[in-house]
Structure 1
Amino acid sequence: MRLKLEQQVINIVRKKRKSLPREGVRKLKVSLNDEFSKANLKVGRDNLFNILRKHNMLTLRKKTSARTTNSYHRFYKYNNLIKNMKVTKSNQVWVSDITYIRTVEGFCYLALITDMHSRKIIGYDLSDSLELKGCVRALNKAIYQAKNINKLIHHSHRGIQYCSNVYTQILKRKKIGISMTEENHCYEQCYGRTCKWHIKR
Structure 2
Amino acid sequence: MIDELVDAGHPVKVCCRLLGVSSPGYYQYKNRPLSPTAMRRQWLTGLIREVHTASRGTYGSRRVHAELTRGMDVVVSENLVAVLMSLAGIAGLPGPAKVKKLKGVATADDLVHRKFHRLAPNELWVTDITEHPTREGKIYCCAVLDAFSRRIVGWSIDNHQDSSLVVNALDMAIKNRRPAPGGIVHADHGVQFTSWAFTRRIREAGLMPSFGTIGDGYDNAMMESFWSSMQIELLNRKKWRTRIDLANAIFEYIEIFYNRQRRHSQLNYESPVTHELRYESPSIPA
TM-score, normalized by length of structure 1?
0.56
1:89 is displaced (CA, Å) by 1.8
**Matched pairs, number:** 124
The structure 2 residue matched to 1:82, chosen from 90, 109, 112, is: 112
CA distance, structure 2, for counterparts of residue 156 and residue 192 of structure 1: 9
Q: 1:117 to 1:188 in 2, by over 3 A?
A: same
Q: 1:111 to 1:103 in 2, by over 3 A?
A: same
- Gaps of at least 5 residues in structure 2 are 1-107, 231-253, 261-286
TM-score, normalized by length of structure 2?
0.40
1:170 is displaced (CA, Å) by 0.9
Q: 1:171 to 1:192 in 2, by over 3 A?
A: closer
3-state SS of 2:140 partner:
strand
3-state SS of 2:172 partner:
helix
3-state SS of 2:193 partner:
helix
Q: Does 1:153 align with 2:198?
A: no
* Conserved 8 A contact 2:143-2:152: yes
The structure 2 residue matched to 1:180, chosen from 192, 202, 211, is: 211
3-state SS of 1:87 partner:
coil
* Conserved 8 A contact 1:154-1:178: yes
For 1:134, the aligned partner's letter is L
1:133 is displaced (CA, Å) by 1.0
- Gaps of at least 5 residues in structure 1 are 1-77
For 1:135, the aligned partner's letter is V
1:190 is displaced (CA, Å) by 2.0
Matches of residues 18-97 of structure 1 in structure 2 within 5 Å? Answer: 79-83=109-113, 85=115, 86-97=117-128
3-state SS of 2:164 partner:
helix
- Which structure has more helix as a fraction of its residues? 2
The structure 2 residue matched to 1:120, chosen from 140, 151, 162, is: 151
Residue equivalent to 2:137: 106
Q: Deviations over 1:155-182 (max 9, x none)?
A: 0000111111111111111120110001
Identity of aligned pairs, percent? 24
CA distance, structure 1, for counterparts of residue 205 and residue 218 of structure 2: 27
For 1:118, the aligned partner's letter is S
Residue equivalent to 1:138: 169
Residue equivalent to 1:40: none
CA distance, structure 2, for counterparts of residue 161 and residue 84 of structure 1: 21
Q: Deviations over 1:47-66 (max 9, x none)?
A: xxxxxxxxxxxxxxxxxxxx
Residue equivalent to 1:189: 220
Q: CA RMSD in A?
A: 2.3
Q: 1:171 to 1:107 in 2, by over 3 A?
A: same
Q: 1:147 to 1:171 in 2, by over 3 A?
A: closer
Higher relative contact order, chain-length normalized (CA < 8 Å, sep 6+)? 1
Deviates more, 1:185-194 or 1:142-151: 185-194
CA distance, structure 2, for counterparts of residue 159 and residue 193 of structure 1: 14
* Conserved 8 A contact 2:145-2:223: no
Q: 1:143 to 1:102 in 2, by over 3 A?
A: same
* Conserved 8 A contact 1:95-1:190: no
CA distance, structure 1, for counterparts of residue 169 and residue 213 of structure 2: 23
Residue equivalent to 2:199: 168
CA distance, structure 2, for counterparts of residue 143 and residue 126 of structure 1: 17
